[in-house]
Structure 1
Amino acid sequence: MGMLEGKVALVTGGGRGIGRGIALSLAASGAKVVVNDLGAGLAGDGRDSGPAEETLAAIKAQGGKAVINGGSVADYDAANAMIEQALDTFGGLDIVVHAAGVLRDRMIFNMSEEEWDIVNAVHLKGLFNVLRPATARMRQQKGGRIISLASGSAYGDAGQPNYSAAKAGIIGLSYSTANAMAKYGVTSNVVLPTGTTRMIDSKPESKKIHDETGKWPSEHAKGTPKDPDNVAPLVTFLASDRAASVNGQVFSSYGFGYTLIEPPRTLARLEGDTAWTPEGLANAYDSYMAADMKPRPAMPFARDVDDLTPEDWTEIGEKRRYWVRKEDSK
């Protein structure tokens, strides 16, 4: 029996890339899956049922059960219909994975309002549109799992202000949902995925790789640390009963490993017995707080684990190892 036997899942953006791998993994673990995918291009344009149909066929080929939903998460009514489809088709809803997304990359000083709106509509509003009816159901049944895909770009990718803002918003919405839903047995967690997907294939340098090898970078990535399917085991675990105590957390999926990201915490404080003057605050900042200010996270985010040495790791068997910051270990 699989970890998700008897569960019903909705996966938005389940027709391609990371979402497809997640949908297949959930189904392989016993879940019945609603595969939502509009089939739009990277910029959010057009419609194509092909990707969702291919995912559906792959799930059925491995003995799983699934149906297709072709609605847009950016549409409030369409998102509600996704939840209703899960209930009508499979009689319940236990898991929501929000993987749908589009890109409209531009520097902040060149970005149009339309480029800002479409990215936030799919990523951030799309998550709200799905969670509004899903959480009402999960509250009633006193149980559920929500896994939202954000991105390391949430920590400040210079060329993706719309995407960065939307992904940071997803983290905030997930924290809020985790706090609101914990007493109902519902968890809400975030995954920052990595992997060579069609987004990488769309880059100009990828065309050269295809011309030279006959394969796109995403095809070369299969079975390697860059395979987007590496995200799926983490999401499947978080969707299971085994993860009942995991709530309000952010994980990075990178290579053949998973990193727990530290939640925000207070770091330093200046305080007085009377109100500060701006000049007095500036002087105290220079003398005390400036030295404790942490640098901005480097981009791409969460890949500092590449700098770890063999001595930093603890072997845990079966070619597996574990690392934790020494100042945080017990």
Structure 2
Amino acid sequence: MGEFNNKVAIVTGAGGIGRAVAELFAAEGGKVVVVDLPAREPGAASAAERAVEAIHAAGGEAVACHIPIGPWASGEQIVQTAMDSFGRLDVLVGAAGNLAAAPLVDVTEEEWDALNNVHLKGEVSLMQAAAKRLIAQGDGGSIINFSSRAAFLGPMPAYAAAKAGVLGLTTSAAMELAPHGINVNAILPSAQTSLFPGDASTRPTSGGTPFVADIDPAALAPAVLYLATAAGAGITGRWVYAAGNDVAMYHRPFELSNQPTLLRGNERWTLGNLAQVLPSLLAHSAS
């Protein structure tokens, strides 16, 4: 009897971290709809099919789904795959992604749309369909979105905007779905995948995160799925960093934990008095 015995999850992004998450969910007794694109080469196995094969070899239950993330109708179609295959849904893990690393002055409309269609529109459509199903079932559930530290720390505006949007989407959906017992959280991972293939030495340590030698996706899969356990059910609307043996909970957005970062003047601000106080305010906010 595993942690997820008889529970059903949809896990997107089987070509990356999603595979490790799907395999762990199945190893803990769950049933998985593994989502990724079809194989590019005729006759080759897709990433989803390879993940399902590994799950079956380990004695688990899973089905492959090749419905693309992005078109609005895809969300309902993928959720229906879970219902047709296993009769219910308990967990949605949105780990699918793509990347355009062009700087602001070079990014194209096509690159912008491609990223936002997958990371935002595709994720919203899946969340909407999953939330409707979870609400109808009436026994809670979990939605786990994938964002990135690049939302605020990377010089890739299209990717950063999409991943920052995931954080806002997560926070808003968590408030909406809390009355239904559905928790919604975001994972900000660091792992070696086909999208980010480099070794550990190429990973940024900005934002206060230390160097992590272990960037195997399997290392952070438990942190992802903990949020879907009974013990993690009370965690919602949070942003969780996970990489190797490291896990961190980021501060809630827009909460002033350091009162010196707020100043209230005796009268309306002017350019002159702002010039006097903002440098000290910036110093406090950076500390």
The amino acid that maps onto 2:244 is G
Distance 1:113 1:48, change over 3 A: farther
Aligned to 1:280: 273
Structure 2: runs of 5 or more not aligned? 203-212
For residues 55 and 275 of structure 1, the distance between their equivalents in structure 2, rounded to whole angstroms, comes to 60
Instruction: Report sequence identity in percent.
Output: 36
Q: Tell me by how many angstroms 1:8 deviates.
A: 0.6
Per-residue Cα deviation, 1:152-189 (whole angstroms, up to 9, x for no partner): 1112301x211111111111101111111111100011
For residues 176 and 200 of structure 1, the distance between their equivalents in structure 2, rounded to whole angstroms, comes to 28
The amino acid that maps onto 1:10 is I
Instruction: Confirm or deny: 8 A CA contact 2:190 2:215 kept in the other structure.
Output: yes
Whether 1:197 and 2:189 are equivalent positions in the alignment is no
Q: Tell me by how many angstroms 1:247 deviates.
A: 1.1
Matched residue SS, 2:64: strand
Aligned length: 270
Structure 1: runs of 5 or more not aligned? 207-223, 296-330
Aligned to 1:291: 283
Q: Tell me by how many angstroms 1:88 deviates.
A: 1.7
Instruction: Confirm or deny: 8 A CA contact 2:74 2:122 kept in the other structure.
Output: no
Whether 1:121 and 2:117 are equivalent positions in the alignment is yes
Instruction: Confirm or deny: 8 A CA contact 1:38 1:49 kept in the other structure.
Output: no
Per-residue Cα deviation, 1:17-57 (whole angstroms, up to 9, x for no partner): 2111111011111111111101478xxxx997521111111
Matched residue SS, 2:51: helix
1:251 corresponds, among 236, 240, 264, to 240
Matched residue SS, 1:242: coil
1:144 corresponds, among 131, 138, 141, to 141
User: How well do the aligned residues superpose, as a CA RMSD in angstroms?
Assistant: 2.3
Distance 1:124 1:48, change over 3 A: farther
Q: Tell me by how many angstroms 1:270 deviates.
A: 2.2
Matched residue SS, 1:293: helix
Equivalent runs, 1:189-268 vs 2, <5 Å: 189-201=185-197, 225-264=214-253, 265-266=255-256, 267=258, 268=261
Larger radius of gyration: 1
TM-score, with structure 1 as normaliser: 0.76
Aligned to 1:271: 264
Q: Tell me by how many angstroms 1:121 deviates.
A: 0.8
TM-score, with structure 2 as normaliser: 0.87
For residues 116 and 270 of structure 1, the distance between their equivalents in structure 2, rounded to whole angstroms, comes to 38
